[in-house]
């Protein structure tokens, strides 16, 4: 069974949690794209929901698939947020932001009653850190942050696209950090959030309620 099929299986299992009248957080990435396609099929059959996208790319995809959208001016909470991940550990702690959407994704997740994470089985790790930790930084502060993060042994790498810095939907930069030697990620999160110029990190701690993965031709569900 292909990785894409596993992502699709997880995505289809997640949309079964959705009920008529709900507001749905729409994640970003290749796994979330499967969820948007599956959700669009339900909307076409008459399911009445509104979506709130976590990125400009997801917004485009949702609109192209006929999913009605809203924003935080019109709602106070999201019923279910469904998003992908780059890694999840046995405690359902996550590293996200491989696609650079971590800031809006975390805002959606924080304002959701239920967070469902969907993935293929290769995202499961015994310990976070094989995937480099993305953090979103303000361009003005990025050079000094790089110096500070080097001293902290986090080996920051400025993410690039077409030989220029990758720019997020909020106009910021992404630094990818090596956290393989870090055992206490909660402490790391606190330390990073105290540095002015770091807008958000890709550590999603105590956020996922349910993780659904595709493994072969079946799904596995992990609950917090
Ligand atoms: O910024 C991107 C997001 O955090 C994605 O959810 C994450 O990178 C997983 O993406 P994919 O489903 O494409 O592996």
Compute the half-sphere exposure of residue 48: CA atoms within 13 Å on the CB side of its CA: 2
**What was the pLDDT predicted at 183?**
93
Give the residue from 109, 108, 167, 161 showing the smallest Cα distance to 136: 167
What are the pLDDT digits (tens) for 4-36? 999 999 999 999 999 999 999 999 999 999 999
Atom number in ligand 1 closest to CA 33: 12
Atom number in ligand 1 closest to CA 119: 12
- What is the spatial distance between Cα 135 and Cα 203, in angstroms, rounded to a whole number? 9
Task: Give residue ranges with CB within 6 A of ligand 1.
Answer: 27-32, 83-86, 96-102, 105
**What was the pLDDT predicted at 115?**
98
What are the pLDDT digits (tens) for 108-166? 999 999 999 999 999 999 999 999 999 999 999 999 999 999 999 999 999 999 999 99
Strands 160-161 and 198-201: unpaired
**What was the pLDDT predicted at 1?**
66
CB atoms within 10 A of CB 180: 12
What are the pLDDT digits (tens) for 86-113? 999 999 999 999 999 999 999 999 999 9
How far does residue 76's CA lie from ligand 1's centre (Å)? 25
Under 8 Å between Cβ of 156 and 165: no
- What is the spatial distance between Cα 65 and Cα 52, in angstroms, rounded to a whole number? 14
**What was the pLDDT predicted at 13?**
98
**What was the pLDDT predicted at 9?**
98
36: helix, strand or coil: helix
Domains and CATH numbers, the chain: 3-125+205-217 (3.40.50.1360), 133-199 (3.30.70.260)
Mutate to test the pocket of ligand 1, among 32, 36, 106, 204 (most ligand atoms within 8 A of CB): 32
What are the pLDDT digits (tens) for 206-216? 999 999 999 99
Atom number in ligand 1 closest to CA 30: 13
Can you tell me the mean pLDDT for 55-82?
Answer: 98
65: helix, strand or coil: coil
Ligand 1: residue whose CA is nearest its atom 10? 29
* Ordered DSSP codes for 84-139: --SEE-TT--EE--TTS-HHHHHHHHHTEEEEEEEEEGGGB-SSTTSSPEEEEE-G
Which strands form 87-88's sheet, in the order they lie side by side? 87-88, 94-95, 203-204
Under 8 Å between Cβ of 77 and 23: yes
Give the residue from 220, 223, 217 showing the smallest Cα distance to 4: 217
* Ordered DSSP codes for 205-217: -S--SEEEEEETT
* Residues β-bridged to residue 23: 50
> Is the overall model pTM greater than 0.95, yes or no?
yes
How far does residue 105's CA lie from ligand 1's centre (Å)? 10
What are the pLDDT digits (tens) for 177-193? 999 999 999 999 999 99
- Provide the annotated active-site residues: 105
């Amino acid at each position: 069974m292909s990785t894409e099929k596993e992502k699709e299986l997880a995505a289809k299992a997640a949309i079964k949690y959705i009920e008529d009248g709900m507001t749905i957080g729409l994640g970003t990435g290749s796994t979330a794209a499967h969820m948007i396609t599956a959700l669009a099929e339900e909307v076409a059959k008459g399911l009445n929901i509104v979506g709130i996208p976590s990125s400009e790319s997801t917004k485009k995809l949702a609109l192209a698939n006929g999913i009605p959208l809203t924003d935080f001016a019109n709602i106070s909470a999201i019923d279910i947020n469904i998003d992908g991940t780059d890694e999840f550990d046995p405690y359902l702690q996550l590293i996200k932001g491989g696609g650079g959407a971590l800031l809006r994704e975390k805002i959606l997740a924080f304002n959701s009653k239920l967070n469902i994470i969907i993935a293929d089985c290769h995202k499961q790790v015994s310990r976070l850190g094989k995937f480099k930790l993305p953090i979103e930084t303000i361009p003005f502060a990025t050079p000094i942050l790089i110096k500070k993060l080097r001293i902290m042994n986090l080996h920051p790498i400025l993410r690039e696209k077409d030989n220029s810095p990758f720019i997020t939907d909020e106009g910021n930069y992404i630094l990818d950090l090596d956290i393989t030697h870090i055992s206490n990620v909660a402490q790391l999160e606190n330390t990073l959030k105290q540095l002015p110029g770091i807008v958000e990190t890709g550590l999603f701690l105590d956020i996922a309620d349910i993780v659904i993965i595709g493994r072969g031709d079946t799904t596995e569900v992990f609950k917090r």
